[in-house]
Amino acid sequence: MLKDIRLVLIGFGNVGQAFASLLLQKEETLLNEFGIQARVTGIVTKRHGASLNSDGIDLAKALALIEGNHSLVELSTHAFNGNTLDFIKACEADVLVETTPVNPQAGTPAIDHLRAGFEKGMHGITANKGPVVYAYKKLTELAQAKGLKFRFESAVMDGAPIFSLYRKTLAGAEIEGFEGILNSCTNLLIEAMEAGTPLDEAIKHAQEIGIAESDPSNDVDGWDAAIKVAALSTVLMNHPITPLDVDRTGIRGITAQDIAEAKAEGKRWKLVCRGGWNDGQFIAEVKPEKVAAGSPLYSVSGTSSFVSFALDVLPGLGILESDPSPKTTAFGLLADLIDICQDIK
345 is catalytic: no
Which residues contact residue 118 at a Cβ distance below 8 angstroms, ignoring those fewer than 6 apart?
124, 139, 142, 143, 146, 148, 150
> Would you call 296 helix, strand, or coil by DSSP?
coil
Q: Where are the beta strands (DSSP E) in the chain?
A: 3-10, 36-44, 50-52, 95-98, 123-126, 150-151, 175-181, 247-248, 267-278, 281-292, 305-311, 317-321
Question: Whole-angstrom distance between the N-terminal and C-terminal Cα of the chain?
Answer: 9
Beta bridge partners of 181: 306
Measured distance CA(247)–CA(284) in Å, rounded: 6
Q: Which of 26, 149, 228, 270 is catalytic?
A: 228
User: Helix, strand or coil for residue 223?
Assistant: helix
Catalytic residues: 228
